[in-house]
Structures are given as C-alpha cells and as structure tokens.
A and B are shown apart, each in its own frame.
Chain A
Amino acid sequence: EDQVTQSPEALRLQEGESSSLNCSYTVSGLRGLFWYRQDPGKGPEFLFTLYSAGEEKEKERLKATLTKKESFLHITAPKPEDSATYLCAVQAPFNDYKLSFGAGTTVTVRA
C-alpha cells in the first residue's frame, strides 16, 4: 500500500523565519504528488502538482520540489496568514487515481 509520511507534525515559526516541510513516499510509478493547504474548519485547497524528480513549482512564499522519494515544501519569509495545515498526497498509476494523503504538517507563524 502507498505510504506517505510528513514531517514534522507541527512547526512553529516566527514571522520571516524560513523553513521546510518534508513529505516522503513509497509508491511505485508515481503519477503525481500534490500539495494542499487546509485551514481550520475548511476543506483542503490545492497548491501544487509535481510529476517528476527535479521539478519545482512556486507560488508566492511557497516553493515545492520533488525527488524520487520525497518532496519538500519551502516557506520563505512566512507571514501569519501562512498558518495552516499542509497536506501532501500521492497518486500511483495502479490504484485507479485515488489519492493517498499524509497526516499533514501544522504550521503556526507568530507575528
């Protein structure tokens, strides 16, 4: 079964203090790796899709990268509004396109 592990579970940052979140996965033939952001009481909101090792995507203060076994979500100079739970999910070719999610990393950014 596909395994997705996110670390750390929780991250407390000072405003402006850059950091990285990790998502490691064990899946054969990755079809896509997805990053979502989830605010309390809301459904996950799509951030990025990565398809192949070496790929990078950026959006404002967020940058996602992908290797053969893990992905990183870098948060550069975070602001309090970046506080959320960040979820990673993988899609493998032989599981009929369903997504397997990690447990998430909860990021709190203090002003």
Chain B
Amino acid sequence: KAGVTQTPRYLIKTRGQQVTLSCSPISGHRSVSWYQQTPGQGLQFLFEYFSETQRNKGNFPGRFSGRQFSNSRSEMNVSTLELGDSALYLCASKEAPATNEKLFFGSGTQLSVL
C-alpha cells in the first residue's frame, strides 16, 4: 500500500507570491490534515478535510486555505507569502476523522520564502 505522497518535495518562492501544495492520501483514507512544522513552533495544525469539507481549522490567517477533491486528494494554498511562512508543510491521512486512529504522515514539502 502506497503511503501519503506530497508534491513537490521542495519549493523556493519570494515574498508576495502564492503557492499550492499537493497531497495524495493512503488509498481508502478520506480524512486529510495539514500541519506546519518550524524549528521554533513545532508542529501546528492547519486544517482537516473530510468528504471535500473542511471539518476543523487551526489558528492561521486566511492566507492559508485548502480544499479536498472527490478522490480524497487535497491541496493547500498560501497566498501573499511572507518570510515567516518558510516551513515544512506536512500532510497526514487516516480513514475517518472521528477516530483515535494514528495519523500517517507524508514526507512533507519544504517551503522556503526569500
């Protein structure tokens, strides 16, 4: 069974640009969560999607958005990039949101904003 796949692996952008990151969950997993990881703040929850609907959202500005498609694949978008958005963005999936199941993480997209 293939794991969680995130593309691209690395991205370099400049301030003010926008970026779209992609995540393909494990087959059969319908819940997709996004996390931002930085050395100073650790792993912080961005949002979770299930059945193409956002179920939960963390404390991030509206520049961070996401969506989920009917095949459970998800994308997240960051508009008007700031230097502080440089981070490892991790996608995680599980079968359904309302369970205590462990999350399976992808390897992440390393975003650098110059």
A46 touches B103 (CB 8 A): yes
Query: Which residue of A42, A46, A98 contacts B56 across the interface (Cβ within 8 Å)?
Result: A98
A42 nearest in chain B by CB position: B107
Q: How far is the CA of A95 from the CA of B103 in the complex (A)?
A: 16
Chain B nearest CB, measured from A23 CB (Å): 13
- Tell whether B15 is near chain A: CB-to-CB under 8 Å: no
| Inter-chain contact A101/B43, CB cutoff 8 Å | yes
Instruction: Let me know if B105 and A43 touch, CB within 8 A.
Output: yes
A62 at the interface (CB under 8 A from B): no
Contact among A43, A91, A100 with B107 in the assembled complex (CB-CB below 8 Å): A43
Q: Is the CB of A98 within 8 A of B90?
A: no
B42 contacts chain A at the CB level, 8 A cutoff: yes
Bound-state CA distance A49–B101 (Å) is 8
B-side interface mostly: strand
CB-based contact B48/A98 at 8 Å: yes
The one of B43, B58, B105, B108 that contacts A45, using a Cβ cutoff of 8 Å: B105
Q: Is the interface of A mostly helix, strand, loop or mixed?
A: loop
Whole-angstrom CA separation of A89 from B101 in the bound complex: 13
Quick one: given A87-B43, A96-B56, A98-B56, are A49 and B102 in contact (CB under 8 Å)? yes
Residues of A in contact with B (beta carbons under 8 Å apart): 31-32, 34, 36, 41-46, 49, 51, 87, 89, 91, 95-104
Q: Name 29 interchain pairs, CB-CB below 8 A, sorted by A.
A: A34-B103, A41-B110, A43-B4, A43-B90, A43-B105, A43-B106, A43-B107, A43-B108, A46-B102, A46-B104, A49-B100, A87-B42, A87-B43, A91-B100, A95-B56, A96-B48, A96-B56, A97-B48, A97-B56, A97-B97, A97-B98, A97-B99, A97-B100, A98-B33, A98-B56, A99-B103, A100-B45, A101-B43, A101-B44
